[in-house]
Amino acid sequence: MTQDFRCGFVAIVGRPNVGKSTLTNALVGTKLSIVSRKAQTTRHRIQGVLTRDTEQFVFVDTPGFQTRHGGAMNRMMNRVVTQALADVDVVVHVVEAGKWSEGDAKLLPLLPAPERTILAVNKVDLLKQRNDLFAYVSRIMALHPFAAVVPVSAAKDKQLDVLLGEIAQRLPVGEAMFEADTLTDRPMRFIAAELIREKIFRLVGDELPYGSTVVIEQWDETEQGARIAACVVVERDSHKPILLGTGGMHMKRIATEARQDIAKLLDKPVHLEVYIKVRKGWSDRESALRDLGYE
């Protein structure tokens, strides 16, 4: 490694649904964080690491900055966002091309000094009039003078190298913090829980909004395979049949699809059992959240 090597933390922030997870995955090149059509599916802080010849980017994918609901869960989520931004070297604020709402504006006061911030204007592939982009960006720059503005399409892999270049310039000079092949510093069981949660959101997300979480209760792994038991904790008795589906159909599909993903990740056969537990009102009690692994 040369003296010119740069390494630092990068936070990707933005209101729900702007494409933060898609962007992180596209940049790191591996599916680690959750991508879903539902807003607000990323509750955890997830790190993905990208190592190039001259720099290492450590991405922190923060949860969406919640503005819609009150309650302990949201206070905690907002605290996670604030903390993530204070800790990192570069903040990429993701917005959706042509759209600016209160949710976007509420993040601005949380951003660090402008020279550490980059505006990524995502979903430019959906823009009909590219000319409108200039006026749109000017309006945002008047509110916060970002050090750089990069129009991108996370889904279509457009301009991501330009974005990486802008981030790289702003990383501090320093040695790599992770081995070159590190994709995440999260343990496998955390990623497994995330994969199960992703299946739940994809299948029953509309009916079961934010009141569920996944806890890995058993993890026995040998060279030959892994036996995993996971528990889906829901908030109400009425959530149980939604999750089960007719004849347990939903649950079977969730478990099968998650098992396949986990087996691919571990590169060995996986036996996965998924249970459901009801724990009333958990999402609004900080102590319950802590028990379940949310700090």
Member of 1, 37, 248, 286 binding ligand GTP (CB under 6 A): 37
21 assigned ligand-binding residue: yes
Query: How many other C-beta atoms are found inside a 10 Å radius of the C-beta of residue 258?
Result: 25
Question: Can you spell out the DSSP letters for 157-222?
Answer: TBSHHHHHHHHHHTSPB---SS-TT---SS-HHHHHHHHHHHHHHHHHTTTS-S-EEEEEEEEEE-
Dihedral angle sign, alpha carbons of residues 78, 105, 153, 59: negative
Residue whose CB is less far from ligand GTP, 81 or 272:
81
Measured distance CA(94)–CA(119) in Å, rounded: 6
Q: Rounded to 5 degrees, what angle do the CA atoms 174, 180, 181 make?
A: 150
Which of residues 31, 32, 36, 140 is near ligand GTP by CB under 6 A? 36
d(CA 111, CA 82): 8
Under rule CB under 6 A, residue 126 binds ligand GTP: yes
Binding mask 55-74 for ligand GTP (x = CB under 6 A): ---------x----------
- In the three-class reduction of DSSP (H, G, I as helix; E, B as strand; rest coil), residue 251 is classed as helix
Among residues 1, 87, 101, 125, the one that binds ligand GTP under rule CB under 6 A:
125
206 is in an annotated binding site: no
Q: Does the protein bind ligand GTP through residue 159 (CB under 6 A)?
A: no
Total interface residues for ligand GTP by CB under 6 A:
24
Least Å distance, CB 107 to ligand GTP, is 12
- Residues found near ligand GTP in the complex (CB under 6 A): 14, 16-22, 35-37, 39-42, 64, 122-123, 125-126, 153-156
Known binding-site residues for GTP equal 14-21, 61-65, 122-125
